[in-house]
Chain A
């Protein structure tokens, strides 16, 4: 089985979605421990992808492609994992592009890079109403919530989300990160966010600091 898990990692490095999905299915159907498939296969491949990005051997589009394959494979693993009562990955992070903003890309890059650091990423998508973000924080208990806006006109929504979290009594339970082209350190401070980063790789560093330590794949 170790061999097949290694093959799964290789499929992710090669960005071969067909192979990755078929090996994942084969492992789960063959009775492999879902926790091992997730930790030693998928999550370890993302961590290694992150190391390769750091070394300059891998570019951002490849990280995003790997993250998309990760997501599709994880959909196969998850039901088995829940059935087995297994744990999930590292710290949870909920991400969203705020209401009124249709720009998905920056957030997707950040989400992909977060996976390379072992975060369990829940992407709520784009044009996400404030109430939906608050609800996700209440239900999922993420360590971090990441808010993205690309437009100067939607940036104020980030402040609205933080206020809504305060009003819901959830602000203390979660760290808020903000990002997007018009967002600055000053803005982040002004609206009371906990973190800001100018690009996806920086966002990972900030998230790791906010999470308190460097989460390993599979750490609760």
Chain B
């Protein structure tokens, strides 16, 4: 390669709309024996203890499909053969399609994708930096920033639209996100079948029809268990609505060790695993072959206050072990990542989220959920969103490993420069230096420049970057008439 080709490399470095985390080099944190013991433990729990389902109608349906029901106790038990047969029906890979096909995500174990974290009821105001109740306008703002950040692969609902009526809040939320981003949307808040029906209608409008949505699901969803070992009836019915429409619907357990799960990590994993499998098996019994995924977002109780701790080493173990369990069952994983307990984008947030990103990479998470939350997932911060994407970017680079092609080894270059020379202006340097990771908010300026700028912290630079994105980024708009049609759907569901 001549030196003139170095310029061409620069053109080549144009950034894609979505950056995925290479999942090579992952490690299994659980030994083969350990993972089988946790698996067998969960099967035993599902068979002997079962789960409570708070809906006679759903219990009856599950019973007809092969589960053992105890109607008086509201309990459903799943024999081993039922579980194994149901899991065998789950598709191994998952397409999360996007309005902009350049943002399509194929979850096949090769790459992990980051979402904005979600469902905070409060936000740190970008201008005043004060904590306040979130609104639909905040949701639009965060979504626009996330649409511009290539490290964000898909979208949860970062904050709730608290200024809209509760029954149609989820519909307002996906409508707002579809209007402000062309990336895939994963709805976390539609836990009632009516809301799921509304969401599917909206997604069909965006996708262009019923068949189009099935072929290119621009929407996915998930339902949560109530730890320990309980599901409301409505989320399971909602999951079936999604399943019938071809919209992927996963199940996510959010156990808190010492409180809603046992104290030891292994036991918490047994409970968490049983809950996720119960959801997935139920969905397969209701809609055979439905697209789904395995989600876990575990933490421990803070022993002094009783609150969810969020961010400690146990969380990291849960992340890696849960991703490994999902792999064992042959389905994509959605893994709680980056949920610091810190109240500001400070040292604690940096350490907890830096390690959390590493754990999800090493564990091999397909979906990393997600960026931007503070205070144990209660307060959304746009600065933290930008900082988390920087961490994700760093981990992506790390996951690239050390390639050793001839170009990478560069033995001729070493020989040409020889002892005492330098590599600064070598064509090899010029064409490879842009492969090096470049920070956006980490400070690498001189002490003098740092002082002259008023000693800025990375979070200050992150806020600036968010403001710049908001001033400059224009999401791909929805086609004419789509927003009116969506408003019509929301109005219809609101009046019910």
How far, in angstroms, from A18 to B5 measured CA to CA in the complex?
A: 12
**B25 contacts A by Cβ under 8 Å:** no
For chain B, the bracket of interface size reads: 10 to 19
Within 8 A of B (CB), among A13-72: 13-19, 59-62, 64-65, 67-68
Q: Name B1-40 residues within 8 Å CB distance of A.
A: 2-4, 6-7
- Which residue from B420, B430, B448 sits with its C-beta under 8 Å from A61? B430
Looking at the assembled complex, report how far the CB atom of A71 sits from the nearest CB atom of chain B, in whole angstroms.
11
The answer to whether A64 and B4 touch across the interface, beta carbons within 8 angstroms, is: no
Given the complex of chains A and B, what is the CA–CA distance between A191 and B330 in angstroms?
70
Taking CB atoms, residues of chain B closer than 8 Å to A13 are 7
Q: From DSSP, what is the main secondary structure of chain B's interface residues?
A: helix
Does B433 have its Cβ within 8 Å of any Cβ on chain A? yes
CA distance A19 to B424 in the complex (A): 21
Assuming the contacts A59-B433, A61-B430, A62-B430, asked whether A14 and B422 have C-beta atoms less than 8 A apart, the reply is no
- B425 at interface, CB cutoff 8 A: yes
**Do the beta carbons of A15 and B6 come within 8 Å of each other?**
yes
CB contact list, B413-446 vs A, under 8 A:
420, 422, 424-425, 427, 429-430, 433-434, 446
B interface footprint on A2-21 (CB within 8 Å = 1, 0 otherwise): 00000000000111111100
CB distance from B334 to the nearest CB of A (A): 36
Nearest residue, chain A, Cβ from B448: A198
Does B447 lie at the interface of the complex (its beta carbon under 8 Å from any beta carbon of A)?
yes
CA distance A108 to B426 in the complex (A): 13
Q: Are A17 and B7 in touch, CB under 8 angstroms?
A: no
Chain B residue numbers with a CB within 8 Å of A67 are: 425
Query: Judging by beta carbons under 8 Å apart, are A60 and B448 in contact?
Result: no
Q: Does A199 contact B (CB under 8 A)?
A: yes
25 contacts between A and B (CB under 8 A): A14-B4, A15-B6, A15-B427, A16-B2, A16-B3, A16-B4, A16-B7, A17-B3, A18-B2, A59-B433, A59-B434, A60-B424, A61-B430, A61-B433, A62-B6, A64-B424, A65-B3, A65-B6, A67-B425, A104-B420, A104-B422, A105-B424, A108-B422, A199-B446, A202-B446
Which 7 A-B residue pairings sit nearest by Cβ, starting from the closest? A16-B4, A65-B425, A14-B7, A64-B425, A198-B446, A105-B422, A64-B424
**Which B residues fall within an 8 A CB radius of A?**
2-4, 6-7, 420, 422, 424-425, 427, 429-430, 433-434, 446-449
Q: A18-B3, A104-B422, A202-B449 are in contact. List 14 more A-B contacts (CB 8 A).
A: A14-B7, A15-B4, A15-B6, A15-B430, A16-B3, A16-B4, A16-B7, A19-B4, A61-B424, A61-B425, A61-B430, A65-B424, A105-B422, A198-B447
